[in-house]
């Protein structure tokens, strides 16, 4: 993978500067059932198409942001900052723990 | 034997270069390739084929085929026909037992036997199973290409350099040069890459020329790595222009691999560039103009041209090369035998589309041209010249000509027409399946010479149009590349504390701890370091701990929501233990949280967890939007843990500040100036004795360390620390817990405060509380004097039922102690279970609480 | 409690050492790949250790920050920057806080190295050298890269990786010297 991903602040940068945290999840409200909780924690849509996902410009400005990326072509259609309003509306949940930047196999 | 000097020849006859081929001294001229020099010296056999060990000679003279692969100066698989000759080069033939001209494995070609049929190793070599190691050894010897010099990587240096280009042109033929000049007329930033070193740079004003060099592929974002020998340029180009031209294709007839068969352009190169006579008596089989041109070249070079057949006008049904000792001695054309030692034949020219196809472009069979052409290019990539099919004439040879003898579709992997036909009858009826079964297009040429012939053959055998066959997926690299070049330099990012060199000087054995280098112990007797901590005073470098500042009016609120336990009610100057969990309730990391002031917290994490925890905090804060900043100060601060009964007394001698038991209580955090350095001093007790963690500016690391050691503190490493913490039953996250462990199963059910509105993992903890945990983490004491290894099996009534995560001998406790996961109904204090150690079952008993000083009096003292 | 435990400038004189000094000093025997480690001697003169230069990490609205004379503000994002200072960075951090941002002395956190040569820079990073300063991958780690006049560059990176970075830079120089 060597596509450019536009950081909302730094502009297009090679993807290996970023840490990827997967598609967004939706955090259930208080007292979910075990089913609802495990759906949120373990299940992913894994679409072949455009998905909204979490990225962090780990080796650059450090910012977290959302990107709409086509998983088939790696075309990034949009990047957005996770405003609290957006988070509340979309009930965004936690990213997986400990993802590292893809870096730097090549750099 | 050279022809008389002629204009345009590449060789410089005034400069002779000598080199070695195996045991022989050979020579050539400056401007020669290794291949042309060897040819001039009379060598005709250049290699032995992959499977049958048939002799092979120069076929393409263009670096496309596998026939001239040799080891040059230790680098295997060099195409000597394009490798410039260097003085003193050491050249070794490959794939040979014995000598090139008399290869002992040649017998494979004669007897056939188990080697002949396609897919032989999938079928023949499997039984009996126990023989496989033997078979494998033999196969490794007879198959494969070249031998790797295990030490070669250390003698050659490879570098990587990043470059940018506005327009990157691949291929320096007429079309490529024109495209480069055109682009250069619009501004700078134009680069042209060509495989040969023959480009006239002066003709290309304003263009940066890289030659000889190879573009290995086109990746996303127009990343084009260019192989310049020992430097790999990683180009990022706004536009890539592919002008790779065409590749001559083999004509498929029996004996088409014999030494003495050549492509038309190979003939031209030998004659015009190197002034060599490719043979004495030649037959030319032409499918296009290039064939006829070769006939003219041969005539001019004084070669007797016995027969020229233009297959477009006079088609043949039967072509069969006849051999003596693997070399052409004649050719049967329909019913005529013509004697010759050179057979020039080609099946036309195929656009060299691989780069385009690899980059995601579309390739289709063009019935008007009879070849595969690229039809759609990936964004940002263009193609010009004959690679697009432009200027090509239709070629239409038979997919294979009749005759006796082996008839090769693929010379790299020794795949014959018979193999392909057999694959089809066995049901491998798509070209992709046939590729995997017969390995056609999988050899060193990567389809450059066999894609088109196999498509033609498939169409004929399956009685369908070539357009319906498709082509196999092309993958980079487009040209072979040395692995060392891809690997680049071999330095690994390594984190070192500011005391790293002091540890080394003190004799520490260093070990990896995540990305860090840390002292394992300072001698071969870590137990002595343990004793020093218990009896007097020790000091350990804990600078690797993750350290975060969390500051802001809402810092408390943020931490309250990140951690299962409470931090909002802490008084400034106090410390609390904290464990982070995920929303799935799993333990993620642990450490201490000190409140420095109302809106400033100081958080420590595990040594390997600092990056993940920082990202985790930042992410949740991006989501929740609290007014708090998270600053990772891990590297900014050195940290030393001064521990042992003498710790206070030592500290008092090194500071003017009040560090008495009343002023600095257990779990207090204070700023203390120690030996002239401001230290955030945390009174905590990971190792179970009275202890102080000093956190202070990294650059002062050695200064503070030296003064502590001068005060009598004995340096201790990770291993003694592990013993000490185990005596206290302290868990190491990631060592004793894994991604399935939760607070309840790890024995920390006291920690989460479920009356908080929300915290990460709250729902999970609530749900877990409703069920019983399957297994629990407990301490144990061995009944015997045996240390079980980490991961040893816990056995209950003969069945595996758990595992040991840590175990050490403790002199202080006088027993072997450890931590293990056991079934929850076996977790009662004193319950006996067994641990499998080297096939033997050894008894152990569950022990609740700390093994050492269970009341914690020593660390609170 | 103050944050002075972050500030090397609050330590008594004679207590501090740069994370790079040892590396640059020991390079001759830690560079087995160089034909003669001695060459490093010549190389060292082309590098300058900037580790002890004052650096302040700034969080908050960077537009509120007014750099004083001799200060250089590097913006990483609208809310995050690095201020390079000539004077006492601890005092600079205190001053910045009066503007309404949060500031942390990062002098000990970041090592710094000045070097010369565009080609050397290209061996170490694929950042666009025409668009500096920027934060990005440098020697395979995250760093802040600044360009001064001509071919002179400065890199700032975590001090715990200082030894590694110095090794990489020296090795790259070695590669260029031995073409
Ligand atoms: S003859 Fe050298 S690659 Fe074909
Ligand atoms: Zn960024």
- pLDDT tens sequence across B400-425: 887 788 888 888 888 888 888 888 88
* Residues C169 and C113 grouped into a single domain: yes
CATH of region B500-724? 3.30.1360.120
Q: Which chain C residues contact residue A101 at CB under 8 A?
A: 142
Q: What is the domain range of residue A44?
A: 4-95
Q: B828 pLDDT exceeds 80?
A: yes
Highest mean pLDDT among A17-21, B408-412, C80-84: C80-84
CATH label, B1-152, candidates 3.60.15.10, 3.55.50.30, 3.40.50.1100, 3.10.20.440: 3.10.20.440
The answer to the question of residue C9 being in a domain is: no
As a whole number of angstroms, the distance between CA B687 and CA B727 comes to 8
Q: Residue B279 has what pLDDT?
A: 93
Question: What confidence tier does C19 reach under pLDDT thresholds 50, 70, 90?
Answer: confident
Q: B499 pLDDT exceeds 70?
A: yes
Question: Lowest-confidence range among B477-481, B584-588, B633-637, C171-175?
Answer: B477-481
Which residues have C-beta within 8 Å of that of residue B485, sequence separation ≥ 6? B158, B227, B230, B232
The answer to the question of residue C4 being in a domain is: no
Q: Residue C42 has what pLDDT?
A: 53
Phi, psi (degrees; rounded to nearest 5) at B677? -125, 125
Q: B129 pLDDT exceeds 80?
A: no
The residue in chain A having the minimum alpha-carbon distance to the alpha carbon of residue C145 is A60
The residue in chain B having the minimum alpha-carbon distance to the alpha carbon of residue A73 is B220
As a whole number of angstroms, the distance between CA B838 and CA B512 comes to 27
> Would the ipTM clear 0.90, i.e. be above it?
yes
The answer to the question of residue C11 being in a domain is: no
CATH topology of domain B772-861: Elongation Factor Tu (Ef-tu); domain 3 (2.40.30)
Q: Could you read off the pLDDT of B299-350 as tens digits, one per residue?
A: 999 999 999 999 988 888 899 999 888 899 999 998 899 999 999 999 889 9
- Give the C-alpha distances (Å, rounded to integers) separating B548 from B613, B731, C60, C61: 9, 21, 17, 21
As a whole number of angstroms, the distance between CA A21 and CA A99 comes to 6
Running DSSP on this structure, what letter comes out for residue B269? I
Q: Which atom of ligand 1 is nearest to the CA of B46?
A: 1
Q: How many domains does chain C have?
A: 2
Q: Whole-number mean pLDDT of chain B?
A: 89
Q: Which chain A residues contact residue C78 at CB under 8 A?
A: 9
Closest approach of B612 to chain A, Cα-based (Å):
5
Are B408 and B457 spatial neighbours (Cβ–Cβ below 8 Å)? no
Question: What confidence tier does A95 reach under pLDDT thresholds 50, 70, 90?
Answer: low
- Of B62, B257, B273, the one to substitute when testing ligand 1's pocket (max ligand atoms within 8 A of C-beta) is B62
Q: B351 pLDDT exceeds 60?
A: yes
Q: Which atom of ligand 1 is nearest to the CA of B63?
A: 3
Question: Is B629 in Cβ contact with C141 (below 8 Å)?
Answer: no
The answer to the question of residue A58 being in a domain is: yes
* Residues C45 and C124 grouped into a single domain: yes
Q: A98 pLDDT exceeds 60?
A: no
Count the Cβ atoms, other than its own, within 10 Å of residue A43: 9
Query: Which chains border C (3 or more CB–CB pairs < 8 Å)?
Result: A, B
C142 inside 8 A of chain A by CB: yes
The answer to the question of residue A85 being in a domain is: yes
Q: Residue B321 has what pLDDT?
A: 92
Q: Residue A7 has what pLDDT?
A: 94
Q: Which chain A residues contact residue C172 at CB under 8 A?
A: none
pTM score, two decimals? 0.89
Span B840-848, average pLDDT: 95
- Of B32, B37, B63, B448, the one to substitute when testing ligand 1's pocket (max ligand atoms within 8 A of C-beta) is B63
Q: Residue B244 has what pLDDT?
A: 94
- Give the C-alpha distances (Å, rounded to integers) separating B3 from A29, B11, B276, B331: 88, 12, 6, 26
pLDDT: which is higher, B423 or B111: B423
Q: Which residues line ligand 1 (CB under 6 A)?
A: B 35, 58-61, 63-65, 67-68, 79, 81
CATH label of the domain that carries residue A10: 3.30.2270.10
> Is omega for the bond preceding A104 within 30 degrees of 0, making it cis?
yes
The answer to the question of residue A106 being in a domain is: no
* Residues C31 and C117 grouped into a single domain: yes
Q: C129 pLDDT exceeds 50?
A: yes
Question: Quick one: B251-346 is in which CATH superfamily?
Answer: FAD/NAD(P)-binding domain (3.50.50.60)
Question: What confidence tier does B113 reach under pLDDT thresholds 50, 70, 90?
Answer: very low
Question: Is B763 in Cβ contact with A37 (below 8 Å)?
Answer: yes
Q: Could you read off the pLDDT of B517-532 as tens digits, one per residue?
A: 999 999 999 999 999 9
The answer to the question of residue C6 being in a domain is: no
3-state SS assignment for residue B184: helix
From the CA of B33, which ligand is nearest? 1
Question: Lowest-confidence range among B51-60, B549-558, B844-853?
Answer: B51-60
The residue in chain A having the minimum alpha-carbon distance to the alpha carbon of residue C143 is A59
Q: Which atom of ligand 1 is nearest to the CA of B68?
A: 2
Q: Could you read off the pLDDT of B694-740 as tens digits, one per residue?
A: 999 999 999 999 999 999 999 999 999 999 999 999 999 989 998 88
Domain ranges of chain B: 1-152, 251-346, 500-724, 772-861
Q: How many domains does chain A have?
A: 1
Q: What angle do CA B174, B179, B184 make, to 5 degrees?
A: 125
Extended beta strands in B171-274, E state: 190-193, 208-210, 214-215, 223-227, 231-242, 246-248, 261-262
Question: What confidence tier does B471 reach under pLDDT thresholds 50, 70, 90?
Answer: confident
* Residues C83 and C129 grouped into a single domain: no
Q: What is the domain range of residue C47?
A: 18-51+109-174
């Amino acid at each position: 993978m060597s596509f450019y991903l536009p950081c909302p602040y730094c502009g297009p940068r090679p993807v290996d500067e970023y840490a990827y945290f997967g598609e967004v999840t939706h955090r259930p409200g208080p007292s979910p059932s075990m089913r609802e909780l495990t759906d949120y924690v373990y299940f992913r849509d894994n679409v072949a198409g455009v998905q909204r996902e979490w990225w962090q410009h780990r080796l650059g400005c450090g910012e977290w942001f959302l990107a709409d990326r086509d998983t088939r072509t790696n075309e990034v259609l949009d990047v957005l900052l996770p405003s609290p309003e957006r988070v509340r509306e979309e009930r965004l949940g936690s990213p997986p723990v400990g993802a590292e930047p893809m870096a730097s196999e090549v750099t | 034997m050279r022809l008389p000097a002629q204009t345009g020849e590449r060789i410089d006859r005034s400069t002779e270069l000598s080199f070695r081929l195996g045991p022989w001294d050979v020579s050539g001229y400056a401007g020669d390739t290794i291949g042309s020099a060897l040819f001039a010296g009379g060598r005709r056999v250049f290699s032995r084929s992959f499977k049958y060990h048939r002799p092979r000679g120069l076929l393409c003279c263009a670096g496309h085929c596998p026939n001239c692969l040799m080891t040059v100066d230790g680098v295997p698989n060099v195409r000597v026909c394009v490798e410039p000759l260097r003085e003193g080069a050491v050249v070794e033939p490959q794939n040979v037992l014995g000598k090139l001209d008399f290869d002992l494995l040649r017998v494979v070609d004669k007897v056939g036997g188990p080697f002949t049929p396609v897919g032989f190793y999938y079928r023949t070599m499997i039984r009996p199973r126990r023989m496989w190691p033997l078979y494998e050894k033999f196969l490794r010897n007879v198959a494969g290409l070249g031998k790797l010099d295990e030490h070669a990587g250390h003698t050659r240096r490879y570098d990587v350099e990043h470059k940018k280009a506005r327009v990157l042109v691949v291929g320096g033929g007429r079309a490529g040069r024109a495209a480069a000049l055109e682009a250069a007329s619009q501004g700078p930033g134009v680069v042209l890459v060509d495989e040969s070193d023959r480009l006239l740079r002066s003709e290309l004003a304003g263009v940066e020329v890289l030659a000889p060099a190879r573009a290995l592929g086109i990746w996303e974002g127009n990343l084009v790595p260019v192989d310049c020998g020992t430097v790999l340029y990683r180009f990022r180009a706004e536009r890539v222009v592919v002008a790779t031209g065409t590749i001559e294709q083999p004509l498929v007839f029996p004996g088409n691999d014999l030494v003495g068969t050549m492509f038309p352009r190979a003939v031209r190169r030998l004659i015009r560039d190197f002034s060599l006579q490719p043979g004495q008596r030649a037959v030319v089989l032409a499918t296009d103009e290039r064939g006829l041109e070769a006939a003219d070249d041969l005539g001019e070079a004084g070669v007797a041209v016995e027969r020229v057949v233009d297959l477009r006008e006079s088609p043949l049904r039967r072509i069969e090369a006849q051999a003596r000792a693997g070399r052409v001695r004649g050719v049967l054309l329909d019913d005529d035998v013509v004697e010759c030692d050179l057979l020039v034949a080609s099946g036309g020219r195929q656009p060299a589309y691989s780069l385009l196809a690899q980059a995601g472009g579309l390739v289709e069979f063009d019935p008007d041209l009879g070849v595969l052409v690229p039809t759609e290019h990936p964004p940002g990539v263009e193609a010009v010249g004959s690679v697009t099919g432009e200027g090509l004439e239709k070629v239409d040879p038979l997919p294979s000509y009749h005759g006796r003898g082996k008839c090769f579709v693929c010379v790299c992997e020794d795949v014959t027409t018979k193999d392909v036909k057999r694959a089809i009858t066995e049901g491998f009826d798509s070209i992709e399946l046939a590729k995997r079964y017969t390995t056609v297009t999988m050899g060193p040429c990567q389809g450059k010479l066999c894609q088109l012939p196999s498509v033609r053959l498939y169409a004929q055998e399956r009685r369908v149009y070539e357009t319906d066959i498709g082509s196999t997926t092309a993958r980079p690299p487009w040209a072979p590349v040395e692995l060392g070049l891809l690997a680049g330099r071999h330095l690994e990012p390594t984190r070192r504390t500011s005391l790293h060199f002091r540890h080394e000087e003190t004799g520490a054995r260093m070990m990896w701890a995540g990305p860090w280098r840390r002292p394992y112990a300072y001698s071969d007797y870590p137990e002595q370091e343990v004793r020093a901590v218990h009896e007097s005073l020790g000091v350990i470098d804990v600078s690797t701990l993750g350290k975060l500042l969390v500051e802001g009016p809402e810092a408390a609120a943020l931490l309250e929501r990140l951690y299962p336990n409470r931090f909002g009610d802490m008084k400034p100057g106090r410390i609390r233990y904290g464990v982070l969990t995920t929303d799935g309730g799993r333990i993620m990391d642990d450490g201490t949280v000190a409140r420095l002031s109302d809106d400033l917290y100081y958080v420590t994490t595990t040594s390997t967890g600092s990056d993940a925890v920082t990202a985790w905090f930042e992410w949740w804060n991006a989501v929740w939007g609290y007014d708090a900043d998270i600053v990772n100060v891990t590297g900014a601060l050195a940290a030393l843990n001064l521990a042992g009964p003498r710790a206070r007394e030592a500290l008092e001698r090194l500071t003017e500040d009040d560090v008495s038991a009343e002023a600095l209580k257990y779990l207090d955090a204070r700023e203390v100036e120690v030996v002239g350095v401001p230290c955030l001093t945390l009174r905590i007790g990971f190792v179970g004795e009275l202890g102080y963690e000093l956190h202070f500016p990294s650059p002062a690391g050695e200064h503070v360390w030296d003064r502590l050691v001068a005060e009598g503190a004995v340096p201790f490493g990770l291993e003694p620390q592990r013993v000490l913490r185990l005596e206290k039953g302290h868990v190491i996250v990631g060592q004793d817990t894994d991604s399935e462990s939760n607070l309840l199963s790890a024995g920390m059910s006291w920690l989460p405060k479920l009356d908080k509105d929300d915290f990460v993992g709250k729902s999970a903890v609530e749900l877990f509380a409703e069920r019983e945990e399957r297994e629990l983490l407990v301490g144990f004491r061995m009944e015997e004097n045996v240390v079980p290894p980490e991961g040893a099996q816990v056995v209950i009534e003969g069945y595996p039922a758990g595992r040991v995560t840590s175990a050490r001998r403790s002199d202080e406790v006088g027993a072997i102690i450890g931590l293990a996961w056991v079934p929850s109904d076996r977790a009662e204090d004193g319950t006996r279970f067994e641990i499998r150690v080297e096939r033997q079952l050894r008894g152990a008993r569950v022990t609740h609480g700390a093994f050492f000083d269970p009341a914690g009096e020593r660390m609170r003292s | 409690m103050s944050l002075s435990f972050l500030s090397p400038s609050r330590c008594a004189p004679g207590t501090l050492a740069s994370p790079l000094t040892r590396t640059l000093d020991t390079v001759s025997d830690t560079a087995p790949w160089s034909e003669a480690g001695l060459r490093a001697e010549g190389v060292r003169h082309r590098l300058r250790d900037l580790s002890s230069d004052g650096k302040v990490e700034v969080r908050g609205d960077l537009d509120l920050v007014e750099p004083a004379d001799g200060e250089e503000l590097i913006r990483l994002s609208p809310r995050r920057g690095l201020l390079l200072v000539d004077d006492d960075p601890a005092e600079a951090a205190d001053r910045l806080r009066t503007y309404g941002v949060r500031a942390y002395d990062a002098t000990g956190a970041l090592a710094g190295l000045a070097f010369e040569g565009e080609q050397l820079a290209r061996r170490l990073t694929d950042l666009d050298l025409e668009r500096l300063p920027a934060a990005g991958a440098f020697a395979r780690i995250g760093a802040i890269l600044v360009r001064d006049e001509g071919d002179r560059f400065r890199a700032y990176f975590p001090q715990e990786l200082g030894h590694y970075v110095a090794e990489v830079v020296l090795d790259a120089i070695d590669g260029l010297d031995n073409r």
